[in-house]
Amino acid sequence: MNATTFEPVAARPAPVRTAGAAGWIRTNLFGDWKTGLMTLLAGGALLYVLPQVFGWAVLRAVWLPDYNACRVEGVGACWGVVAEKYRFIIFGRYPYEEQWRPLVATVLMLCLLAASCTRAFWRPWLVLIWVAILAAFFALMYGNVFGLSRIETDRWGGLPLTILLASLSITLAFPIAVAVALGRRSGLPAIRAFCTIYVELIRGVPLISVLFMASFMFPLFMPEGFSIDVLIRVLAGITLFAAAYLAEVIRGGLQAIPKGQLEAAATLGLSYWQTQIKIVLPQALAMVVPSIMNNFIGLFKDTSLVTIVSLYELTGALSLAINSDANWRPFKLEGYLFIAMIYFTFCFLMSRYSLWIEKQVNKGKAR
Amino acid sequence: MSRKSPPRRKNWTWRSQALRGLVYQFFAIGAVALGVWWLAGNTMHNMQVRGIQSGFDFLARPAGFDIGESLYAFDSNHPYWQAFLVGLTNTLRVAVIGIILTTVLGVLLGVGRFSRNALVRGLCYAYVEFFRNVPVLLQLLMWYVFFTEALPAAAQAWTLGPLFLSKGGLSFPIPVWETGHLWGLYGLIAGAALAFAYRRWAFRRFEATGRPRSLFWVPLGLLFAMGALGWATGGAPAHFVVPVRGEFAIEEGGSLTPEFMAVLLGLSIYTAAFVAEVVRAGIQSVARGQGEAAAAIGLSQTQSMRLVQLPQALRVIIPPLTNQYLNLTKNSSLAVAIGYPDVVSIANTALNQTGRAVECIAIVMLVYLTTSLATSIFMNWYNVRAAIKER
């Protein structure tokens, strides 16, 4: 008989560490040869590009408002254009000495918007605050009361105008959109037809043509001698345009409500409006919050189009500021980057807020 | 004894839903009709008072303005309707090329968000966040400034082989048309027919034997091989008009204007950020189990992607993708801000010259309505094809 001696199998090596920084780099940057190659390529490109961008934007940049320094060969970005023109870019053609007024008005408006985004303010009296602050905004901007001089709306511009257009069109478009979305699903054929035609017509044409209509053709439609301020007309144009898109989003939410909900409501004896307000809309709106917020962000960006019909909001104010001054004209790109940053900040904040509010409205579903 | 259902009593009181419905609709129609009548009346009156003529007769008159770029010869003696046609072709040119570019870029970026490489993921995320959150008009203006001011003058143009990039735009060689090219074209047509026949045969063989054959690379090879064969038969003509550096401009060859490039790049890059998000949402919507099940029955990674995951993702992707295509087409109207002669900018010029505001804006709206409808009909057809085949 052979004596078998116990020979243990050689111990397997410990598994590769996947935790910690080294582990993260191994799995995420050098997982296999393809990823490794990609890392080398992308990393190489970044290492080549980033220092150049950094050098242009920061190291070799000119920060002082001195256009002769900007013209020296080999100089990077000329941020001096922002240092020189920032008042004009942000407040447009508003009279220079009175620019504290749009500043206060904008800060008030921003506070109002920030407050409306927090839970503690979701009460009925928020409407009163909106009315009060809007009144204050117009009083400050337009003047003619409390000894403030009168500033016509064609002098308004820059950031205050952007924020005014965006916040007002968002608040006005929302109820219209809800009504139109309900109308498109109504049982009454005439109302359904009107709502469908409205939505499809508006969604079929670009915003510019709606703005052209509002600013050039509107006077043609009105009785002789009757006129509305161009700001209001453009605001109405943007609102109607945004409402059509928003209505489609909300309709998507309405379609997703199971039929049983409506039948249950009918069984309880709720009327049409009771059913919509208490049963359908709360569920439908909660479902489409991300799309609604995306729409709002799009609307905020779309306000830049009013430049084309000669209202000088942020984009228009920048062009006006730089085109009027031959010394600074070569440094338009820096100016554009500056306002791009302003737009980016607002839109990015809105998209972060959208994530938060999504969580809030879905609290009921969380387990 | 037959059971009778209780007689239906029409209840024409205010409590009857039918009656209320009728009344509401009656008022709605009345209000809309009154509104339209009032607006139309005002417009007629205003036009009379201001002496504005109306009608589309101006379309046949000479336009009296030149257009910077057009696909065919146009000068100021040509009638207005041809000017509008030039605008329309310019709009469609940007829209079609832009849609192709944005799809390629957007799909790459969307898929890149799932890369195992953190650097690629991060770059795609940064791209999407940056380009999505800056207004498209601003991006167009930035590209335009870049192309017209940051680039060197024609004399110091950047060159890459036969390509020249300068303030004057991008110049590139174009082939000279010869009869030999026609042979190449015949070859391509024959190749397409052959490829189609091969594909059908290969698919039938696959269904009969279960042995897969390449349904993509072989037909593609056939197509190009036949094209090359035809081209060689025609004598392989390969003469190009190469751009040369002139004193003030790059001469000869084909060229793209800075306006066109700014509009095209601006729109494609902006829309690609949205397409990337659409693609990402689509891929995310496919349940994880689908990929695992595909692996379990022995499909390779590529097969699983192509046969199982992608078809399901497409169903989620297509409707919002259509919206993005339509948005790109409609946003091409922003070209008016940087002077690219699209249909809106032509209409604007025509409006200023003739004063026919209603007609010009009506033409613009008609153009966009038709393009939007055509695109959405095509995409709906594709969507029906891609939808779940249910009983």
pLDDT confidence of residue B126: 92
Query: Which candidate in A40, A273, A344, A349 is best for mutational testing of the B interface (most B CBs within 10 A)?
Result: A344
Residues B117 and B200 in one domain: no
- Residue from the list B25, B43, B46 with its beta carbon closest to the beta carbon of A191: B25
The structure tokens 């008042």 sit at: A87
How remote is the C-alpha of B362 from its chain's centroid?
A: 22
Pairing, β B250-251 against β B254-256: unpaired
Q: Which of residues 351-370 of B touch A (CB under 8 A)?
A: 351, 357-358, 361, 364-365, 368-369
What are the phi and psi torsion angles at B73 (to 5°)?
A: -60, 130
Task: Look up residue A193 and give its amino acid.
Answer: A
Reported as a single tens digit per residue, the pLDDT across A102-126 is: 888 888 888 888 888 888 888 888 8
* Mean pLDDT, residues A305-315 taken together: 86
- Residue from the list B42, B336, B364 with its beta carbon closest to the beta carbon of A222: B42
> Containing domain of residue B216, as a range?
178-234
Assigned token pair, A228: 């509305």
Query: Which candidate in B91, B119, B267 is best for mutational testing of the A interface (most A CBs within 10 A)?
Result: B119
Task: For residue A315, give the chain B residue with the closest CA.
Answer: B138
8 Å CB contact between A310 and A316? yes
Residue B391 has pLDDT above 70, yes or no: no
Q: Does A43 touch chain B (CB under 8 A)?
A: yes
pLDDT confidence of residue B388: 63
Chain A residues near residue B137 by CB distance under 8 angstroms = 304-305, 307-308, 315
* B69 is a domain residue: no
Residue A155 has pLDDT above 60, yes or no: yes
- Tell if the CB–CB gap between A220 and B357 is shorter than 8 Å: yes
- Tell if the CB–CB gap between A205 and B336 is shorter than 8 Å: no
pLDDT confidence of residue B372: 81
* Mean pLDDT, residues B28-46 taken together: 88
8 Å CB contact between B240 and B174? yes
Please, what is the average pLDDT of chain B?
Answer: 82
The nearest CA of chain B is from the CA of A352 a distance in Å of 11
Mean pLDDT check: name the lowest of A327-336, B152-161, B243-252.
Answer: B243-252
Mean pLDDT check: name the lowest of A15-24, B19-28, B192-201, B219-228.
Answer: A15-24
The nearest CA of chain B is from the CA of A350 a distance in Å of 10
Chain A residues near residue B132 by CB distance under 8 angstroms = 347
- Tell if the CB–CB gap between A205 and B369 is shorter than 8 Å: yes
| Bridge partners, residue B241, by sequence | B174
Q: Does B150 touch chain A (CB under 8 A)?
A: yes
pLDDT confidence of residue B6: 67
**Which strand (E) or helix (H) includes residue A161?**
helix A158-184
Q: Does B53 touch chain A (CB under 8 A)?
A: no
Give A149's DSSP letter.
Answer: P
Q: How confident is the model at residue B170 (pLDDT cuts 50, 70, 90)?
A: confident
Residue B256 has pLDDT above 70, yes or no: yes
pLDDT confidence of residue B248: 67
Maximum CA extent, chain A: 121
Task: Look up residue B112 and give its amino acid.
Answer: G
Q: Does B33 touch chain A (CB under 8 A)?
A: no
Contacts of A299 (CB under 8 A, 6+ apart): A166, A169, A170, A173, A238, A242
Angle at Cα A36 formed by Cα A34 and Cα A38, nearest 5°? 70
Contacts of B135 (CB under 8 A, 6+ apart): A301, A302, A304, A315, A343
For residue B171, the SS3 value is strand
* B247 is a domain residue: no
Q: Does A217 touch chain B (CB under 8 A)?
A: yes
Residues B281 and B375 in one domain: yes
Chain B residues near residue A204 by CB distance under 8 angstroms = 365, 368-369, 372-373
Assigned token pair, A315: 């984009």
* Whole-number Å distance between alpha carbons of A135 and A154: 19
Residues B195 and B341 in one domain: no
Reported as a single tens digit per residue, the pLDDT across B229-248 is: 888 887 777 777 777 776 66
Residues B107 and B220 in one domain: no
* Whole-number Å distance between alpha carbons of B335 and B265: 12
| Bridge partners, residue B158, by sequence | B165
* B57 is a domain residue: no
Share of chain B above pLDDT 70, in %: 94
For residue B169, the SS3 value is strand
Residues B134 and B267 in one domain: yes
Chain A residues near residue B337 by CB distance under 8 angstroms = 307-308
- Residue from the list B21, B32, B137 with its beta carbon closest to the beta carbon of A315: B137
Beta-carbon count within 10 A of A267 CB: 8
Residues B288 and B355 in one domain: yes
Assigned token pair, A12: 């397997």
Q: How confident is the model at residue A345 (pLDDT cuts 50, 70, 90)?
A: very high
Chain A residues near residue B364 by CB distance under 8 angstroms = 205, 209
Q: Does B256 touch chain A (CB under 8 A)?
A: no
8 Å CB contact between B146 and A333? yes
Residues B269 and B374 in one domain: yes
For residue B170, the SS3 value is strand
CA-closest candidate to residue A257, choices A240, A282, A232 = A282
- Tell if the CB–CB gap between B117 and A188 is shorter than 8 Å: no
Domain spanning A169-311: CATH superfamily: MetI-like (1.10.3720.10)
Task: Look up residue A26 and give its amino acid.
Answer: R
Reported as a single tens digit per residue, the pLDDT across B316-369 is: 888 888 888 888 988 988 888 888 888 888 888 888 887 777 788 888 888 888
Q: Does B132 touch chain A (CB under 8 A)?
A: yes
Task: For residue B19, give the chain A residue with the closest CA.
Answer: A188
Q: Does A181 touch chain B (CB under 8 A)?
A: no
Give B92's DSSP letter.
Answer: H
Residues B128 and B198 in one domain: no
Describe chain A by its helix, strand, coil percentages, rounded to 5: 75, 0, 25
DSSP string, A58-113: IIT-B-SS-HHHHTSTT---BTHHHHHHHHHHHHTTS-GGGTHHHHHHHHHHHHHH
* B263 is a domain residue: yes
Q: How confident is the model at residue B139 (pLDDT cuts 50, 70, 90)?
A: very high
- Alpha-carbon separation of residue B118 from A186, B106, B276 (angstroms): 49, 19, 17
pLDDT confidence of residue B387: 66
Residue B171 has pLDDT above 60, yes or no: yes
Q: Does A270 touch chain B (CB under 8 A)?
A: no
The gap between the terminal CA atoms of chain B, to the nearest Å, is 42
Chain A residues near residue B355 by CB distance under 8 angstroms = none
Reported as a single tens digit per residue, the pLDDT across B336-346 is: 888 888 888 88
Mean pLDDT check: name the lowest of A108-112, A137-141, A195-199.
Answer: A137-141
Q: How confident is the model at residue B10 (pLDDT cuts 50, 70, 90)?
A: low
Q: Does B137 touch chain A (CB under 8 A)?
A: yes
Residues B114, B118, B124, B130: is their CA dihedral positive or negative? positive
Comparing B308 with B52, which gets the higher pLDDT? B308
Residues B189 and B327 in one domain: no
* Whole-number Å distance between alpha carbons of A238 and A168: 10
Domain count within chain B: 2
pLDDT confidence of residue B9: 63
Q: Which of residues 73-102 of A touch B (CB under 8 A)?
A: none
**Which strand (E) or helix (H) includes residue A193?**
helix A189-204
- Tell if the CB–CB gap between A35 and B117 is shorter than 8 Å: yes
pLDDT confidence of residue B11: 64
Give A28's DSSP letter.
Answer: H
* Mean pLDDT, residues B291-298 taken together: 91
Residues B354 and B265 in one domain: yes
Angle at Cα A283 formed by Cα A252 and Cα A249, nearest 5°? 20
* Whole-number Å distance between alpha carbons of B374 and B365: 14
Computed on alpha carbons and rounded to an integer, the radius of gyration of chain A in Å comes to 29
* Whole-number Å distance between alpha carbons of A169 and A250: 17
Residue B390 has pLDDT above 70, yes or no: no
Assigned token pair, B104: 């390629």
* Whole-number Å distance between alpha carbons of A309 and B361: 14
8 Å CB contact between A243 and A180? yes
**Which strand (E) or helix (H) includes residue B55?**
none
8 Å CB contact between A97 and A321? no
* Whole-number Å distance between alpha carbons of B254 and B259: 15
The nearest CA of chain B is from the CA of A359 a distance in Å of 18
Residue B2 has pLDDT above 80, yes or no: no
Mean pLDDT check: name the lowest of B101-105, B261-265, B386-390.
Answer: B386-390
Contacts of A177 (CB under 8 A, 6+ apart): A242, A243, A244, A245, A246, A247, A249, A250
For residue A333, the SS3 value is helix
- Tell if the CB–CB gap between B365 and A205 is shorter than 8 Å: yes
Chain A residues near residue B320 by CB distance under 8 angstroms = none
Check which CATH number belongs to the domain holding B144 and give it: 1.10.3720.10
Angle at Cα A164 formed by Cα A159 and Cα A168, nearest 5°? 155
8 Å CB contact between A140 and A101? yes
* B7 is a domain residue: no
- Tell if the CB–CB gap between A38 and B32 is shorter than 8 Å: no
The nearest CA of chain B is from the CA of A27 a distance in Å of 8
Residues B137 and B184 in one domain: no
Q: Which of residues 291-320 of A touch B (CB under 8 A)?
A: 297, 301-302, 304-305, 307-308, 315, 319
Mean pLDDT check: name the lowest of A339-353, B165-179, B253-267.
Answer: B165-179
Contacts of B355 (CB under 8 A, 6+ apart): B52, B53
Helices (H), B257-356: 258-285, 288-296, 301-303, 310-331, 343-354
Give A71's DSSP letter.
Answer: T
Residue A1 has pLDDT above 60, yes or no: no
8 Å CB contact between B42 and A223? yes
pLDDT confidence of residue A102: 83
Q: How confident is the model at residue B208 (pLDDT cuts 50, 70, 90)?
A: confident
Chain B residues near residue A220 by CB distance under 8 angstroms = 42-43, 46-47, 357-358
For residue B209, the SS3 value is helix
Beta-carbon count within 10 A of B336 CB: 22
Please say which residue of B200, B234, B268 terminates a domain.
B234
Q: Does B32 touch chain A (CB under 8 A)?
A: yes
Share of chain A above pLDDT 90, in %: 14
Give B308's DSSP letter.
Answer: I
Residue B12 has pLDDT above 80, yes or no: no
